[in-house]
Amino acid sequence: MGLGISAAGSALLFTTRDFLCRLALSFEHEDDDEHEDETKSKHRQRHASENPFQTFLLPSCPLCLCGEIPSVPSLSVGFSATALLISCMENQAPLGIIAGNGLYPFVLARAARQNGVAKIHVAAFENETRSDLADHVDSIEWMRVGQLNRLIKYFEKTGVRRAMMAGQIAPKNLFDLRPDFKALMLLGRLKKRNAETLFGAVADELAKAGVELLPATSYLEDCLAEQGLIAGPKPAKRLIEDIVFGFEIAKEVSRLDIGQTVVVRNGTVLAVEGFEGTDEAIQRGARLGKGGAVVVKVSKPKQDFRFDVPVIGCQTLEIASGAGAKAIAVEAGKTLLLDKEALKTLAEEKKTTIYGYGPNPQKSHA
């Protein structure tokens, strides 16, 4: 027995597609009414001669309500308008934020709102996420790090089908992990336990529950670091050489999954980020640099941009400047600068260079 769909059922199946076609055509042809009327008339006549019963179907054809399913070429006429509508429809769906510490979740929530996201639901972690984030979102659920099942149930309850990770989890809390049964099963399947494997496994579990984990740069494209001097004093030749050297070392260290930040001076490595985290590595290395250290932060060679994206903000700059660092270099196009304008202002005030280094050295050095 073959699978069949009635004519009315088939037409109903394309209701959304019809709506998009109608909107697209209204944008593209609103100044050409005379031509449109003539087209519609010929279209109706053709269908009336081919199938007089088709007028009883639910409307699917954007031209004459005849029930014909539009072809792909007819959809492409108003593609820009259709794409805009699809984008608006996506923003009506709630966004979930898995929020760690720091400013990142706040910046993301603000950017998502500015991009038209109507509902934001936050999974927050005890002793990590700032409590005042609740004032900027529609709902917030507090949980311990490791309560994976509770996270998934919360997103199911709030109708979240798209989520993002924003903010770090302190290493000490990872050692104090009290996983629920679902997280325990996940950990038992992992041969390696690093940021990539842990967060990747969480993303897989979310996907099984129907939640897509979006890139952590979504809605934040304007916050990505550009190439060249971003703020602060123009770097001298020696400092540029340290940036290039530090970039090569940091890329290799990140490839080995040790860390993504190094501190260098005069071609010497002063500190490499380990499990202690970026801030402590910066403090340790910058103090050894005695006023001339350069902090370099990069992405991994095969970075999964759904999580663990390189980020700096005013807090990073305060720590680096306070410890005596002369410059912070980041990977252009792959590092988020949180509260970008405030960061630039602070860099000028602290007289600390912020520099974007990328795959095009000539442009970076300009």
Tens digit of each residue's pLDDT (9 = 90 or more) over 203-242: 999 999 999 999 999 999 999 999 999 999 999 999 999 9
Query: Is 281 within 8 Å of 267 (Cβ atoms)?
Result: no
- Measured distance CA(315)–CA(141) in Å, rounded: 26
- Measured distance CA(19)–CA(47) in Å, rounded: 20
Q: 272: which residues sit within 8 A by CB, 6+ positions away?
A: 249, 253, 258, 259, 261, 262, 281
pLDDT in tens, 153-170: 999 999 999 999 999 887
Question: Which pair of tokens denotes residue 36?
Answer: 């449109």
**Angle (nearest 5°) at CA 358 between 357 and 360:** 120
pLDDT value at residue 11: 35
Kindly tell me if the per-residue pLDDT of 1 is higher than 50: no
Kindly tell me if the per-residue pLDDT of 48 is higher than 80: no
Q: What is the mean pLDDT of residues 304-315?
A: 92
Read off the amino acid at residue 366: A
Query: Is 104 within 8 Å of 338 (Cβ atoms)?
Result: yes
Kindly tell me if the per-residue pLDDT of 300 is higher than 50: yes
Among the ranges given (41-50, 107-116, 200-209, 309-318), the one the predictor scored with the smallest mean pLDDT: 41-50
Q: What is the mean pLDDT of residues 180-208?
A: 86
- Measured distance CA(289)–CA(17) in Å, rounded: 62
pLDDT value at residue 303: 87
Kindly tell me if the per-residue pLDDT of 138 is higher than 50: yes
Q: pLDDT category, 261, cuts 50, 70, 90?
A: very high
Kindly tell me if the per-residue pLDDT of 183 is higher than 60: yes
Query: Is 232 within 8 Å of 352 (Cβ atoms)?
Result: yes
Residue with tokens 């490595």: 269
Number of C-beta neighbours around residue 163 at 10 A? 23
Q: pLDDT category, 200, cuts 50, 70, 90?
A: confident
DSSP 253-280: HHHTTS-SEEEEETTEEEEE--TT-HHH
Q: What is the mean pLDDT of residues 52-69?
A: 38
Q: 364: which residues sit within 8 A by CB, 6+ positions away?
A: 227, 228, 332, 355, 356, 357, 358
Query: Is 317 within 8 Å of 346 (Cβ atoms)?
Result: yes
Domains and CATH numbers, the chain: 7-87 (no CATH), 93-213 (3.40.50.20), 224-365 (3.40.140.80)
- Dihedral, CA atoms, 249, 250, 255, 257, nearest 10 degrees? 120
Residue with tokens 């394309």: 14
Return the bridge partners of 328, or none.
Answer: 295, 354
- Measured distance CA(360)–CA(354) in Å, rounded: 17
Kindly tell me if the per-residue pLDDT of 27 is higher than 90: no
pLDDT value at residue 174: 63
More confidently predicted of 19 and 229? 229
- Measured distance CA(199)–CA(195) in Å, rounded: 6
- Measured distance CA(342)–CA(338) in Å, rounded: 9
DSSP 157-199: HHT--EEEEESB--HHHHHT----HHHHHHHHH-SS-SHHHHH
pLDDT value at residue 119: 97
End-to-end CA distance of the chain: 70
C-alpha distance from residue 253 to each of 176, 302, 335, 341 (Å): 26, 13, 17, 30
Kindly tell me if the per-residue pLDDT of 129 is higher than 90: yes
Q: 283: which residues sit within 8 A by CB, 6+ positions away?
A: 319, 323
Residue with tokens 């290493």: 171
Q: What is the mean pLDDT of residues 56-74?
A: 38
**Closest residue by Cα to residue 293 from 219, 248, 340, 239:** 239
Query: Is 147 within 8 Å of 180 (Cβ atoms)?
Result: yes
- Measured distance CA(260)–CA(297) in Å, rounded: 6
pLDDT value at residue 172: 64
Task: Please state, rounded to an integer, the average pLDDT across all residues of the chain.
Answer: 80
Kindly tell me if the per-residue pLDDT of 350 is higher than 50: yes
Q: What is the DSSP letter of 101?
A: B
